[in-house]
Structure 1
């Protein structure tokens, strides 16, 4: 098949059914839009596990590792777009009075459960994009682009309140904490020292620790342990051949007893029992 000369997206699947047996976490520099039509599936983004319902919409900035976890035998049907941020350049200047990619920049990753009217509108836009996408002529390309812009504006409308709130309520302290979280995200599987975090932010260590606790309600190390445990749960789900000890070291704990204690504190069961429940049933 010849390449479509009017291709807009890096990837586009409309109402795709089924998936590869091997599910892999992945990240990419492209933005992504995911719409769930039917089936039984959890979607994992970073350390979030989202149980999906038909009509759910997810936007992602792509850089956070993500993947679906399909459950049961019901057909798994979804529509997926991935596209480069520079795609913004192809829109006419008059269509950029509000940046259609702003939700991906401000919210980064977010999940929406559409009501029946919104779901009907969204699915009509998706069908329109699909109808024009595979036609190899300039008129269809322009109509596909307009339909895609309509989808972006639909998403923008869903995000407006959240974006306004986030912009309005993000103060200096929250920005510092966000920077600390990004520092931790890149290094949580290794040794993390408060001195290194403070140096990264050019802050006094005790001041950085105090700000983090005030904004998040937890200590820096409580946050690190929570991140590691969330990752451990994901590894148990997707790396079923991993032992508890292997997962323990993979997520950054140095001692199995400490890992088991933190896991039970946060999850409510031991890592051994959690792993066993996954092997004993088709879903957790």
Structure 2
């Protein structure tokens, strides 16, 4: 998403400026239609739980959250919150593209602050009272500068963001020291596959052709993709198509449900409707009317 829709704490905010983050929520307490859908992505993600009742699904794990819990994710494992809707659900979350945050580009770090995401991949951190207080100060500091378009404030935002990454690094350092530092070959293959899907999801994707173009063994790719993301290749593909369909329903007045079906890569409207209902909980037509205020 792009734009400069600014609101204060407790609301959803997106900007373009330094492109530090792709998606950003600070003390967000609303549930958006379909936002609890299981998903995977290339971005790294930081999630902090402020209040409510929530079981967070991360790969094959089910984590019962407590206020002050912090989760870091490399994005590839399927993840989503299962929320008790009778309680106010408050969280801070942001995702970012690690390729845009190479430490060498900014030249002031002697260590790699992305190492916890690369080495540990997905971790649930239950913070003690002192660490929780520090984390909330760091998040508030990020939010303070995130809203500003002043150039100095934008670089202070970058510094605040790195400060949070270093805080996470410090929390994860004991575990990282027990592990060897190498990015899994399987994870590299999965990232290549996801990039391929992002480029071609509107086309007719065949597993054999995909593996061939990526110079991989089809069965190995299917195996590691499922192990790392928790989804099959085609489950991921369908999730991507459905997410694009949701975007089109919000922003396109002219396209019918059938138009959207074909544009996002489905061959048959009945299959599109069945998959959409299974993932979103509403039929495409009803979802379209809901987001356009027709119901």
Shared fold per TM-score greater than 0.5: yes
Deviations 1:35-65 (A, max 9, x none): 0000000110111110000000000000111
Partner of 1:204: none
Partner of 2:169: 156
Partner of 2:179, secondary structure, is helix
Partner of 1:218: none
Mind listing any 5+ residue stretches in structure 1 that lack a counterpart?
187-196, 201-223, 229-284
For the 8 Å contact 1:132–1:141, the answer to whether it is kept is: yes
Map 1:259-270; keep pairs closer than 5 Å: none
1:18 aligns to 2:49 (yes or no): no
Q: What's the CA shift for 1:88?
A: 2.0
Q: What's the CA shift for 1:7?
A: 3.6
1:39 aligns to 2:52 (yes or no): yes
Partner of 1:139: 152
For the 8 Å contact 1:6–1:138, the answer to whether it is kept is: no
Alpha-carbon distance in 2 for matches of 1:89, 1:66? 25
Q: What's the CA shift for 1:4?
A: 4.0
Partner of 2:93: 80
1:49 aligns to 2:62 (yes or no): yes
Partner of 1:116: 129
Partner of 2:140: 127
Alpha-carbon distance in 1 for matches of 2:33, 2:69? 23
Alpha-carbon distance in 1 for matches of 2:107, 2:18? 20
Partner of 2:28, secondary structure, is strand
Q: What's the CA shift for 1:86?
A: 1.4
Runs of 4+ residues over 6 Å off in structure 1:
none
Give aligned pairs, total: 187
Partner of 1:282: none
For the 8 Å contact 1:42–1:52, the answer to whether it is kept is: yes
Partner of 1:94: 108
Alpha-carbon distance in 2 for matches of 1:127, 1:72? 25
Alpha-carbon distance in 1 for matches of 2:145, 2:107? 23
Partner of 1:94, secondary structure, is coil
Deviations 1:3-52 (A, max 9, x none): 54334210111000021253211111000000000000011011111000
Partner of 1:26, secondary structure, is coil
Alpha-carbon distance in 1 for matches of 2:57, 2:72? 12
Alpha-carbon distance in 2 for matches of 1:32, 1:129? 15
Q: What's the CA shift for 1:125?
A: 0.4
Q: Higher helix proportion, which one?
A: 1
Deviations 1:68-120 (A, max 9, x none): 1101411100000100011323652221x110000000000000000000000
Alpha-carbon distance in 2 for matches of 1:104, 1:25? 20
